[in-house]
Amino acid sequence: MPRMRDAPEELIPVTGPNLRNQFSSPRAACLAATRRAEEVHDVPRGLLTAIALAESGLHAYALNIGGRAQFASSREEARQLIESASGQSSIMAGCVQVNARVHARNSDWPLDPFRAADWAGGMMARWARETGSWPEALRRWHGGSPASTQRLVCRVRAKLEVTAPDSTMFDGWNCGDAPATRRNGEIHLARAEEG
């Protein structure tokens, strides 16, 4: 099977404008976007939502600028924060925390939760096909060392226990119990479901 290309515009299905404007909060928009992307890209139920919970707390306008988390109230506010951080080399943006300096140069598409989630879903599905493993796809998503991969998998596993309690995807990973991480996921998911 040929390797899929990384360009976001090639991985993002067309979405109707009505999807973007019907949500009352950045968390509700992020939740709808991740659930939709799971279906579109055949990602296991709850996985992309668990990743977004771990990455941004399911917040469409979440930013991590130079290691400092910020939660903008609107796309415009997030865009302004990114523009004012022009000297920062590390800016992670949006619902699934896309590297804005690498994957979105000169664009704010990561702040559109539907585009960002569709891109993430496409990348995760591609990597799962290439490797034959969703945990390996998650490792590639994070791009980290084996030690940081263990931490990420355990964080996502705790969130997956909230988004898809019956999932056995990470059962082979020795994560122990993570009640605080799971509880944090429950709180953010409940906020998103409320709207």
Domain ranges in the chain? 24-194
Separation CA 105–CA 113 (nearest Å) = 17
Q: Which of 1-5, 66-70, 124-128, 158-162 is predicted least confidently? A: 1-5
The pLDDT tens digits for 35-88 are: 999 999 999 999 999 999 999 999 999 999 988 999 999 999 999 999 898 777
**Helices 26-40 & 113-131 angle (0-180, nearest 10):** 40
- Residue 42 three-state SS: coil
Find the radius of gyration of the CA atoms of the chain.
Answer: 16
Half-sphere exposure (Cβ direction) of 121: Cα atoms closer than 13 Å: 27
Question: Do residues 172 and 163 lie in contact, with contact meaning Cβ atoms separated by under 8 Å?
Answer: no
- Crossing angle of helices 26-40 and 47-56, in 10° steps, is 150
Confidence of residue 105 (pLDDT cuts 50, 70, 90): confident
Q: Which helix (H) or strand (E) holds 98?
A: strand 98-99
d(CA 160, CA 167): 7
User: In this predicted structure, what is the pLDDT of residue 3?
Assistant: 46
Tokens of 7: 């360009």
Give the integer Cα–Cα distance in Å for 169 and 44.
9
